[in-house]
Chain A
Amino acid sequence: MLKKALVFAVLIFFLVLPFLIRSNYLLGMLIVTGLYSIIVIGLGILMGYAGQVSFGHAAFFGLGSYTAAILATSCGWPTPAALLAAMALPGLVAALIGRPTLKLKELYLALATLAFGILVHILFNEGGEITGGPSGLAGIPYLSLGGLVFDRDIEFYYLVLAVVLLVSLAVNNLIQSRTGRALRAIRESEHAAQTAGMDTSLLKLQAFVFSAVLAGLAGGLYAFYVTFISPSPFSFHMSVQFVLMAVVGGLGTFWGPLQGSGLVVALGEALRWAVPLVIPGAGGEYQIIFFGIILVLVMIFRPAGLGSLLSPQVNQERAGRPGGREVDGGVAGG
């Protein structure tokens, strides 16, 4: 259950935060963290409830970005329409990929999304004039909603805050609803869920498509925030970071995606600063070593996520089943 007072307190904290930090660098980090947390909320539904993993969410993020950017520049669409398309296209693609693969073992969706992610990244790079190739697309307009143009960081910050709040509340509704019970039931026992009348393939597909739509939304917003996009933020490594954010924050928790995104973004920044001090001359994406190791450790010791450290109730709830769900039990024997 969600404590309303806590939600309000956190909301007020984030409402006044820009006035406390007075730093464009930190404000930019907060905006990016907020955008990532939108993706991670969706990924959390997919991983924590439907029991599936995607290593291609950076591609959905990128598809959203490029869709919004191309439609708003070359095609001259109004920015809100381009943003809607940025949500629709990844959702559609996810439906196509997810339908056959979700019926199979976890492995197959992981592989299909991984391949899809790399493929899309190649397409961004090789897309010629349409995607601008490795140098990307510039001159993306600011988002304008009914006369209000989001052309300053502070305005965009409040927009992202509102979107994160709305998405969080919607997902909170979802997990306590009939559909959410079904998603949780699938995680606990897929066979029992099926024989209770739940179309588990469809529910997993819906969770997957929903997560892709959220990634597309974040991507569209990202394009309108930075107004210049290139393929590099949509690489496979970013997909891994999204998975890391989801599990570090804690799967199946309300606060997990926010905590996870914040922690990983902060860690990335800290490493960017610290590693060259320790290992002079280190260049490139060396942070990924640490992200990888942290991910392995979390998966081994706390598959339910570090967020469960912070909310004892959930921690206790998960304690009995570190390995996650049982699948085969009910069918053997006879």
Chain B
Amino acid sequence: MEVLLEVEGLTRYFGGVAAVKEISFQVQEAEIFALIGPNGAGKTTVFNLITGLLAPDAGSVVFEGKSLAGLKPHQIAAAGITRTFQNLQLFGNMTVLENVMAGAYLKGRTGFLKSLVTWPGSSREEKLIRREALALIDEVGLAGLAGLPAAALPFGRQRLLEIARALASGPRLVLLDEPAAGLNSAETKELAGYLKRLREEGKSMLLVEHDMETVMEVADRIMVLNSGEAIALGTPAEIQANPEVIKAYLGEDERVA
């Protein structure tokens, strides 16, 4: 299997405190790689560093053999990495369809000037993006809701919409920040199934999730972070058996299966 993402010695300080300290891991093609750890362990910071919203103080991120150092968030997205946000960042006043079509921004080519002279929805590109967005909306289970404003959806549906939006540009790697938070158990099961289907289709995913049941079910490998440092890396079975992990994290968490 080929290495898709290579994180090496990633470090970031906030006011003298290391939020992320010398973290290294690799994500393979068609792999679900999970980052777990207590709140404040640095998981979301890792996401922000990979997607370019924050700049690392040290370390490197290499994607498909190319360094992402110094790239802006939109360039990293164009390289093939998209993400969802822990506290949802939907385009709330836009419809579900518009959210997903906005997510497919990278698929289009129509620039500012051409947008001025093109009648809405009349171009082939626009029709194609609309068709694909509608298909994706069906696929994540939002069929029939395309015309609603995103903010009007129930919370669980909003999570799914964020995932659809992140998938819309056809990324090779998707960063999912607590996709199951706020979902009920049936929805969580559905989500886990969907993530596994995406993996079968060849998508790689970097997953931050507190729901251990889901993590253990879908993840191929897991890295445990504590106070910004990696304390363990292995398969779900290995992680569950790791005494240090149990001490540092799992022991405190009642949700562990």
Contacts and interface: CB of A to CB of B under 8 A. Distances in A.
B76 to A, nearest CB: 8
A124 interface: no
A173 B43 CA distance: 41
A184 B115 contact: no
Interface of A, secondary structure class, is helix
Contacts of A125: none
A185 B116 contact: no
Interface in A180-216: 180-182, 184-185, 188-189, 191-200, 203, 206, 210
Contacts of A189: 89-91
B116 A181 contact: no
A178 B110 contact: yes
A283 interface: no
Interface string A157-180: 000000000000011111011111
B45 interface: yes
B116 A170 contact: yes
B192 to A, nearest CB: 24
Interface stretch (B95-103, B181-189, B211-219, B249-257): B95-103
B120 interface: yes
B42 A196 contact: no
The residue in A176, A177, A317 that gathers the most chain B C-beta atoms within 10 A of its C-beta is A177
Contacts of B20: 334
A177 B44 contact: no
A331 interface: yes
Q: How large is the interface on A (under 10, 10 to 19, 20 to 34, 35 or more residues)?
A: 35 or more
B119 A174 contact: no
A211 B168 CA distance: 31
Interface string B190-206: 00000000000000000
A323 interface: no
A144 to B, nearest CB: 26
A173 B93 contact: no
B102 A182 contact: yes
B105 A194 contact: no
B121 A176 contact: yes
A174 B116 contact: yes
B165 A196 contact: yes
Interface in A11-57: none
Contact of B105 (A198, A330, A334): A198
A170 B117 CA distance: 6
Contacts of A331: 44, 48, 53-54
A177 B30 CA distance: 33
Interface string B78-106: 10001101110111111000100111011
Contact of A184 (B45, B51, B91, B169): B91
B151 interface: yes
Nearest to B37: A334
A181 B93 contact: no
B72 A321 contact: no
A181 B110 contact: no
B165 to A, nearest CB: 7
A329 interface: yes
B126 interface: yes
B243 interface: no
A184 B43 CA distance: 29
A196 B118 contact: no
A177 B101 CA distance: 10
Contact of B85 (A178, A192, A200): A192
A188 B158 CA distance: 15
Nearest to B41: A334
A179 B45 CA distance: 30
Nearest to A192: B89
22 contacts: A172-B120, A173-B117, A178-B101, A181-B101, A184-B91, A184-B98, A188-B92, A189-B89, A189-B90, A189-B91, A192-B89, A192-B90, A192-B91, A194-B77, A197-B106, A203-B112, A317-B149, A321-B92, A333-B39, A333-B86, A334-B40, A334-B41
- Ranked nearest first, the 3 interchain pairs of A and B with the lowest CB-CB distance are A177-B115, A197-B77, A334-B45
Given A192-B89, A197-B169, 17 more contacts: A177-B115, A177-B118, A179-B110, A182-B102, A184-B91, A185-B94, A191-B89, A198-B102, A200-B74, A203-B112, A317-B149, A321-B92, A330-B89, A333-B39, A333-B44, A333-B87, A334-B42
